[in-house]
Amino acid sequence: MRITKFGHACVRIEHDGTTLVLDPGGFTRPEAVEGADVVLITHEHGDHYAPDNLRRCDAQIYTIDGVADQIRSGAPDLVERLTVVTPGEQLTAGGVPVTVVGVDHAIIHSEIPRIHNSGYLMDFGGTKVYHPGDALTAPGETVDLLLTPSSAPWLKVGEAIDFVQEVGAKHNLAIHDAIYSEAGHGLVDMLMAKVNEPKGLGWTRLAVGAELPQL
């Protein structure tokens, strides 16, 4: 399995001839989706959903109602590739078993309307990878790799540390990281290492375009 970190919340996973891309939004280089078979989108915010990026590939698009509405109204040329999923649904996308997890986006502020968000738990030949989108909703089962939000308007570092502990994955890859400066990333990494690595919860941050070492 080949896992590449692209901009912000986007991760590309290649396994057994299938290329799956998660959340190639507006902070993501468009080449992340080139040659993709499947794209999964967690919610409609522009840092996760960018129709121009989706036009760079012929992939099947799996996403929730809120994003589907955006596609129907703003990018109707993508509708024929669209499959709408629902929370709790179990499906197969490009040969990869996927479970849809969670309903709501994390709260940003009480005066900002809360939208829907669903994460995706994927099983790549027995190796389970979880992308929560913009929420700290645990998948409810054992995970080998957690794609962990590490900076966001809705996130405190203590919450990210607790989320890593709650999920309990041995491997954790920092995502959703276009918000902080390099100094901010360094602080998060230091605190993750201090609190969670003694518990056997590894933490990795990759540069854009870098690949995760084999799990």
The reported pTM is 0.98
Supply φ then ψ for residue 46, to 5 degrees: -65, -20
Q: At what angle do helices 182-195 and 157-167 cross, to 10 degrees?
A: 40
How many beta carbons lie within 10 A of that of residue 127, not counting itself? 16
Q: Is residue 206 part of a domain?
A: no
pLDDT in tens, 196-209: 999 999 999 999 99
Tell me which DSSP letter residue 168 carries.
-
Strand partners, 145: 129, 171
Assess if residue 213 is contained within a domain: no
The SS3 of residue 199 is helix
CATH of residue 63's domain is 3.60.15.10
Residue 142: per-residue pLDDT: 94
**Percent with pLDDT over 70 in the chain:** 100
pLDDT grade, residue 78 (50/70/90)? very high
Number of structural domains the chain divides into:
1
Full residue range of the structural domain in which residue 170 is found: 2-199
| β-bridge mates for residue 174, sequence order | 148
Task: Name 45's Cβ contacts closer than 8 Å, sequence gap at least 6.
Answer: 25, 105, 115, 134
pLDDT in tens, 7-47: 999 999 999 999 999 999 999 999 999 999 999 999 999 99
- What CA–CA distance (Å, rounded) separates 86 from 89? 6
pLDDT at 67 over 90: yes
Is residue 212 a part of any domain in this protein? no
Q: pLDDT-derived band of residue 214, with 50, 70 and 90 as boundaries?
A: confident
Q: Give the pLDDT score at 215.
A: 83
Distance of CA 60 to the CA centre of its chain: 17
Tell me whether residue 215 is in a domain: no
